[in-house]
Amino acid sequence: MTLDEILASMFPAGHDVKNDEGVVYGSGSLRSGGLALVVGVADRLPLGVDDAIILSAHVLRSIARDSGPILVVVDSDSQRMSKRDELLGLNEFLAHLGKCLIYADSHGRPTIGLLYGHTAAGAFLSTALATRVLVGLPGATPVVMDLPSMSKVTKLSLEVLEEKAKSTPVFAPGLENLAQTGAVHVIWDAGVPLVDQLETLLASLPDIDDGRGLLGKQRGGRPKAYEIAERVRGLGLQSR
């Protein structure tokens, strides 16, 4: 589905969402009443410092003046890997955007990521994965890190990683694998009006605590992560 088709299906009562050279912002009328803030990245834009600070500003301004959920639509490349962006501190700008979304979610503005295209690396972490829940649409192609890059970091051969990816979702790109690890909360049906699926999700949002670890255990994609995280959390609480 194109972004225009997605917005029309989610907000049949109307929206004023704009796509400014890949930077998406505006609002849509919810069927249940009120407005949803819509921000995000389109047209496979590589997310740079300028884009991140614009999106952060929209989120922060909305916290003070509006109510309702925040929908983060994502079809990006990775972060913009240019000398200018790196020298300006791209990692800090991306972290700021992610923290703005987390702050909004903890202050009464539940955040929902909607992955409908591609995304990778830092752009993925600071947008879609910084939301309370992440929804995928069929055809989306997320990659936390592609296997050639993972090979360089881990020093494992590409052949070894490709073999591991066949049975271990954390090594494998793709929407279904990310759903199995718990990163993607649900995959919507493109054949059903998105407004119906959005309203169902809004009525049954999980608690603000990150539930991806538990989902990953239940779905068999990350069988150990939840227990380890809980042990670490328990030890932290004991040391207070």
Assigned token pair, 76: 């990006």
- What is the pLDDT confidence band of residue 169, given thresholds at 50, 70 and 90? confident
- Is pLDDT at 162 greater than 80 in this prediction? yes
**Between these two residues, 39 and 65, which has the higher pLDDT value?**
39
Enclosing H/E stretch for 116: none
Residue 191 is predicted with a pLDDT of 92
Mean pLDDT for all residues in the chain: 92
Query: What CATH code is carried by the domain that includes residue 45?
Result: 3.90.226.10
Where does residue 60 fall: left (phi above 0), alpha (psi -120 to 50 degrees), or beta otherwise? alpha
Residue 124 lies in a domain: yes
Residue 148 is predicted with a pLDDT of 85
Global pTM reads 0.90
Residue 86 lies in a domain: yes
CA distance 94 to 5: 28
Q: How far is CA 177 from the centre of its chain?
A: 15
Q: How many domains does the chain have?
A: 1
Assigned token pair, 24: 């998406």
User: 71: domain range?
Assistant: 3-138+188-207
Q: Is 41 helix (H, G, I), strand (E, B) or coil?
A: strand
- Is pLDDT at 171 greater than 80 in this prediction? no
- What is the pLDDT confidence band of residue 161, given thresholds at 50, 70 and 90? confident
Q: Is 178 helix (H, G, I), strand (E, B) or coil?
A: helix
Q: Give how far Cα 114 sits from Cα of 130, 171, 187, 205, 231, Å.
A: 11, 22, 10, 14, 31
- Is pLDDT at 187 greater than 90 in this prediction? yes
Residue 63 lies in a domain: yes
- What is the pLDDT confidence band of residue 164, given thresholds at 50, 70 and 90? confident
- Is pLDDT at 239 greater than 90 in this prediction? no
Q: Are strands 111-115 and 133-136 parallel, antiparallel or unpaired?
A: parallel
- What is the pLDDT confidence band of residue 166, given thresholds at 50, 70 and 90? confident
Residue 137 is predicted with a pLDDT of 96
Residue 233 lies in a domain: no
CA distance 96 to 82: 19
Residue 145 is predicted with a pLDDT of 80
Mean pLDDT of 133-160: 89
Q: How far is CA 216 from the centre of its chain?
A: 16
Residue 168 lies in a domain: no
Q: Is the dihedral of CA 222, 144, 89, 45 positive or negative?
A: negative
Residue 154 lies in a domain: no
Residue 143 lies in a domain: no
DSSP summary character for residue 173: -
Residue that the structure tokens 């994502």 belong to: 74
- Is pLDDT at 88 greater than 80 in this prediction? yes
Residue 76 is predicted with a pLDDT of 94
In this prediction, what percent of the chain has a pLDDT beyond 70? 100
Mean pLDDT of 14-43: 95
